[in-house]
Amino acid sequence: MHPDWVTGFQDETWWSRLAQPNLHTFSTVDAPLQLEQKHLAENDVDPKALACYGVLMRGQAGTADRVWLRFVDGRPLSSLTCQFLASISAKLAAEGKTAWLLIWDNASWHTSKDVREWVRQQNRQVKAGQVRGVRIVVCFLPSKSPWLNPIEPKWVHGKRRVLEAARVLSADEIEQRVCATKGCPRESHLAISAELS
């Protein structure tokens, strides 16, 4: 592959504050590990789960894979997907990349008319030198094939690593732990602007 191109596998996930991931552990027969059923306090105003966009950038020529994350106010939508793609495109351009082979699933907020039009517009503007970014070549994974996306195991392992056996973590704690486990900085949430809502 051309040294100025990059392959990125994109997906979204929910980081639950209550649900416990499936775990396997060694323990003695007389002291098995017990996970407690969690409940939110009545005065808890944080959401039960946090939506998050992520992209796994495949390393080239001996470089390590990287994960970039952005949390979302609400749930994944086409407009937020465009914001996420724009932020990643700008990061890649700052690294001197010129093209991004984007591999993702067929979620409705990936295949929507708005997202397809945004990608077309982005590619036109980058080619014409009107915006700083990278050209995006979209490749869809076959339906119902999450095992083909290498970011999926990153979500599973991440959920196990941020686990708290008995205590409900705040939304802020979840974000801090997730970003720490993925080795990426915390960034502002993707949100729909007030004019659009």
Q: Taking a C-beta distance cutoff of 8 angstroms, is the pair 83, 196 a contact?
A: no
- Separation of alpha carbons 82 and 60, rounded Å: 26
- Separation of alpha carbons 136 and 119, rounded Å: 7
Q: Which amino acid makes up residue 188? A: S
What's the pLDDT score for residue 21?
62
Mean pLDDT of 94-118: 95
Q: Give the three-state DSSP class for 15.
A: strand
Which range, of 17-26, 58-67, 103-112, averages the lowest pLDDT? 17-26
H/E element, 140? strand 135-140
What's the pLDDT score for residue 102?
97
169 pLDDT tier (thresholds 50, 70, 90):
confident
Closest listed residue to residue 183, CA positions, set 54, 35, 15, 47: 54
pLDDT digits (tens, 9 = 90+) for 113-164: 999 999 999 999 999 999 889 999 999 999 988 899 999 999 988 888 887 7
pTM comes to 0.85
- Separation of alpha carbons 187 and 52, rounded Å: 11
Q: Which amino acid makes up residue 143? A: S
Place of tokens 């495949």: 58
What's the pLDDT score for residue 46?
87
196 pLDDT tier (thresholds 50, 70, 90):
very low
| Mean model confidence pLDDT for the chain | 87
